[in-house]
Chain A
Amino acid sequence: MTVKLPRIGTAQILALAAILAINGFVSPQFFDIRLQDGRLFGSLIDVLNRGAPVAILSLGMVLVIAMRGIDLSVGAVMAICGAIAASLADDHSLVVTLAAALGAGLACGLWNGFLVAVLGIQPIVATLILMVAGRGIAQLITEGRIVTFTDPGLAFLGGGSVLGVPTPVVIALAMLALTLIVVRGTALGLMIEATGGNPRASALAGIGTRLITLAVYMWSGLCAAIAGVVAAADILGADANNAGLWLELDAILAVVIGGTSLFGGRFSVVLAVVGALIIQAMNTGILLSGFPPEMNLVVKAVVVLVVLLAQSPRLASLGLIFSRRRS
């Protein structure tokens, strides 16, 4: 008798554990954690802290993908919202700054949702528009320069800590809890899965697919806005050219590593976040290892390939046949 591992999640958790173990091997102080100025300090904390923006993005992306959609614009929306927050921070109260930044994120999501749900444009095309134009909008807001700010309230969102835990990590955890409550505490998650699995059947069954699609894209926009504010707060400035650049791909990758199919349907919010942590643990490991930078992308590609192969049901059945033959 062998212990039966849960079918979902085992591969991801094992992958994360394996990468962390490798990190501990290449860099012996990887698991050391101490307090520095009242804030936890250590490589493991870096993984959580640096992984927070992509984790937050993946919370929005996972629902969009579960609806058989995709949101390519999240990186650009991060840049827009970071630029708005940094531009307003020094002259306005934190409430106004955040309301403007998050409001812009919701508006971006509404635009995407409108194109997809109302006009029926394919998600990849619809969100590509904002992906390209959004960075331009962000550059218009910052006039092409890096807008810096000194407001301690906004800075706290990037560099502060709550009971020693860096604020970005706290924000990511809070967002994760909120997402879980909304999609698993209510029937909404089920409706999203149904819409992703078969939109026509769902609509006939009485689900307001159009409204749900709009809401999910707005949620993704909001997540992107929060990630953008955190990223800007982290460097005390908004860099419209580089903030969130290619992070939409990391977010999609996190969702895919988390086992959610790009064809929609079943999704796992928690595993998407685990996917984001896998990506960041790998990034931090590469930086600690002292590998030449030319190797970064190659190492990343190999690790992602291995994680995805480990999840492949075909490969698992191949392995089964192989082990049967041997016995």
Chain B
Amino acid sequence: MTFRALLLASAFTGALFATGARAGDLTIGFSQIGSESGWRAAETTVSKAEAKKRNITFKIADAQQKQENQIKAIRSFIAQGVDAIFLAPVVATGWDAVLKEAKEANIPVVLLDRDIDPSGKDLYLTAVTSDSVHEGKVAGEWLASQVGAKACNVVELQGTVGASVATNRKKGFEDGIAGHSNIKIVRSQTGDFTRAKGKEVMESFIKAEGGGKNICAVYAHNDDMMVGAIQAMKEAGLKPGKDILTVSIDSVPDIFKAMAAGEANATVELTPNMAGPAFDAVIAYKSKGTVPPKWIQTESKLYTQADDPMKIYESKKDLGY
């Protein structure tokens, strides 16, 4: 895991630097997408906290899901002469002009959570993102480790059709269970990443699979759909977490509540802390000229019922999810 070593190293230099006299001088502007989801709100909260920890002056511009607002915000950050710009791009293309302006002004840009069109690779310092294929793989491998050699029929609640996250988490899970011929995905439908649709789709799956008796596990592309699916299982007289194993992705607070109640088994975290590694990379770059790799992958941590879910719930519930 070289990236982790790198992360550690940059975190170390960051920590050193944070105690230095010049740490407070850094000003970083962040063009955030807007409040599209609870995770996004949590990312903003955590970013502010991480900036405070490092004594960085942090300016957030809310783009309300519009690229033109993001471009305006970046231009205003350039005019203010910030030390670095963080960008959570709302779309993948159309960034060349404004990123060139930032480059000419010698202001490094770090992408958070999402990547942009490959043509612009030299226009940013690094991208801090999670690998959604890897997230799915962690979920699949966990399930494989749980069922052993037993035959296991899995039903899958997909994200929105065509969303890259959904495609990747599906592929990753299939990679994770590859080589375990006893694990089979018997049904797969989209629940549009929402609780209501997750519940509706799970209701149908239960009826189509002999009242749920033929289902051994549920895999949901996000926790919200799983929360809905858990309700559907309970209403059908099944015991989620016992009769039917559950594994989903994101680690939103409510799934930890379900885990504490024994109704969910595992969740893979999409960390809201993308800014932390980004700060460290910028600090290392500014102080020592260390050029970070083009991609800093965040950790996809697996949580199970053994990880004191109630405590994690308490720590996450006020982040704005």
Does A176 reach chain B (CB closer than 8 Å)?
A: no
Within 8 A of A (CB), among B22-51: 35-38, 40-41
Fill in one digit per residue for A130-162: 1 if any B CB lies within 8 Å of its CB, else 0.
000000000100011110100000000001000
CB <8 Å contact, A37 and B237:
yes
Residue from B195, B201, B205, B228 with most neighbouring chain A CB atoms (10 Å): B195
Fill in one digit per residue for B219-254: 1 if any A CB lies within 8 Å of its CB, else 0.
000001001100100011100000000000000001
**Which residues on B sit within 8 Å (CB–CB) of A287?**
189, 200-201, 204-205, 208
**Which residues on B sit within 8 Å (CB–CB) of A296?**
161, 190
CB <8 Å contact, A145 and B235:
no
Secondary structure at the B interface, as helix, strand, loop or mixed, is helix
Within 8 A of B (CB), among A292-308: 292-294, 296
Does A105 reach chain B (CB closer than 8 Å)?
A: no
Does B320 reach chain A (CB closer than 8 Å)?
A: yes
**Which residues on A sit within 8 Å (CB–CB) of B37?**
144, 241
- Interface magnitude class on chain A: 35 or more
CB <8 Å contact, A139 and B207:
no
**Which residues on B sit within 8 Å (CB–CB) of A103?**
none
CB <8 Å contact, B207 and A288:
yes
Does B304 reach chain A (CB closer than 8 Å)?
A: no
Instruction: Kindly provide the distance from the CB of B239 to the nearest chain A CB, expressed in whole angstroms.
Output: 13
Does B203 reach chain A (CB closer than 8 Å)?
A: yes
Fill in one digit per residue for A235-257: 1 if any B CB lies within 8 Å of its CB, else 0.
11101011100000000000000
Chain B residue nearest to A295 (CB atoms) is B161
Does B194 reach chain A (CB closer than 8 Å)?
A: yes
- Bound complex: CA A153 to CA B228 (Å): 19
User: Which of B158, B204, B231 meets A46, CB within 8 Å?
Assistant: B204
Does A284 reach chain B (CB closer than 8 Å)?
A: yes
**Also in contact, A242 and B192, with CB within 8 A (given A144-B41, A146-B224):** yes
- Bound complex: CA A288 to CA B187 (Å): 9
CB <8 Å contact, A46 and B203:
yes
Fill in one digit per residue for B253-267: 1 if any A CB lies within 8 Å of its CB, else 0.
010000000000000
Instruction: Kindly provide the distance from the CB of A250 to the nearest chain B CB, expressed in whole angstroms.
Output: 13
Q: 13 A-B pairs, CB-CB below 8 angstroms?
A: A41-B235, A50-B200, A144-B41, A235-B228, A236-B231, A237-B195, A239-B194, A239-B224, A242-B193, A287-B204, A287-B208, A293-B161, A294-B161
Residues of A in contact with B (beta carbons under 8 Å apart): 27, 29-30, 36-37, 39, 41-43, 46, 50, 139, 143-146, 148, 159, 231, 234-237, 239, 241-243, 283-284, 287-288, 290, 292-294, 296
Residues of B in contact with A (beta carbons under 8 Å apart): 35-38, 40-41, 158, 161, 187-190, 192-196, 199-201, 203-205, 207-208, 224, 227-228, 231, 235-237, 254, 320-321
Shortest 10 CB-CB distances between A and B: which pairs?
A: A287-B204, A293-B190, A144-B35, A242-B194, A235-B195, A145-B38, A43-B207, A288-B208, A144-B41, A36-B237
Q: A36-B236, A146-B321, A236-B231 are in contact. List 6 more A-B contacts (CB 8 A).
A: A43-B204, A144-B38, A144-B41, A146-B224, A287-B201, A292-B188
